[in-house]
Structure 1
């Protein structure tokens, strides 16, 4: 399968999860936008992805509705693993005409910080760190050389930014700033934009 344009990176540490992505939206060698936010909050979770931007937006909307429906129906919050499995099932249901996306999904619950990687047809893999998209080969090298699960959230954020900056330097479909989302071990959400 051809690599999907854009670069998204995620990692989990003892204190939470950090996901990030650059903002360039490109298609067929053209830059369509420099303001495409590809890291979004869904309930108490965060999603980042690569691929067709409209597919990412649609999946985010579907997941927002499904998570709210689950929580209203069951009278309790959905776990990170259950939400990731729900996303996996949604992706698999569309396997004939799949959402063209690679997704990182993270959150924190009573089990602790969790990070999942999903492909266009719903394969679900839990991991400590991951990079997807056209700049993933470069970003993963940075992550592998510096990742530790006992990093602080500030150090983890700096590593996500460093890995995305490395991919921006070498991948023409990536660029135009970096969005970062953090969920700490208490479930608090924080996001920021870093011009680059």
Structure 2
């Protein structure tokens, strides 16, 4: 499978999870949009992705409904791992006509911050930091050199911005700004929002 156009990345820190993506939406050699949203907040969780925008948006809407249904039916909050497994099952159900997307899913629960990487058919890998999409190889190099789980969220944001800016400089299908979602350990309410740079 060829690389999906876009760059998204995530890091898990002691104090929270950061998900980020650039904004360029391209198809072949054309830039279709300079304001595509590739980072989404779903309650206490976040999704960032690379691939076909319609697929990422659809999966975000499906997960929003499924998480609410689970929590109403079981009368308790869903864990990050259980929510990520739910997303994995949804992706696997469509393995014959897959969603063309690589996803990062993160959040915080009683066990602390967690980050998961998913491919189009639902492979689920828990990691401390990850990058997906066509600029991932460049971004992961910066993350590997500078990642420290003990750094503050502000320092983590600086590293994430540096990694995405490096990918944007070297990948023609990435660019036009950066969206960052920071989910803090001490505040996972709706006050968290996506900031643009």
TM-score by length of 2: 0.97
What is the distance in 2 between the residues matched to 1:191 and 1:60?
A: 15
On the 8 A contact 1:109/1:187 being kept in 2, the answer is no
Alignment of 1:54-133 (within 5 A): 54-133=54-133
On the 8 A contact 2:41/2:193 being kept in 1, the answer is no
What is the distance in 2 between the residues matched to 1:84 and 1:43?
A: 14
Structure 1 residues not aligned, in runs of 5+: none
Displacement of 1:191: 2.3
Question: Residue 17 of structure 1 corresponds to which residue in structure 2?
Answer: 17
Question: Residue 177 of structure 1 corresponds to which residue in structure 2?
Answer: 177
**Local SS of the residue matching 1:60:** helix
Match of 1:193 among 184, 191, 196: 196
Displacement of 1:26: 0.3
On the 8 A contact 2:104/2:117 being kept in 1, the answer is yes
Displacement of 1:187: 3.8
What is the distance in 2 between the residues matched to 1:98 and 1:187?
A: 35
What is the distance in 2 between the residues matched to 1:149 and 1:9?
A: 15
Structure 2 residues not aligned, in runs of 5+: none
The CA deviation string for residues 19-62 of structure 1, in whole angstroms up to 9 with x for no partner, is 10000000111100001010000121000000000000000000
**Local SS of the residue matching 1:181:** strand
What is the distance in 1 between the residues matched to 2:193 and 2:16?
A: 11
What is the distance in 1 between the residues matched to 2:172 and 2:51?
A: 15
Query: What RMSD over aligned residues (CA atoms) do the two structures have, in Å?
Result: 0.6
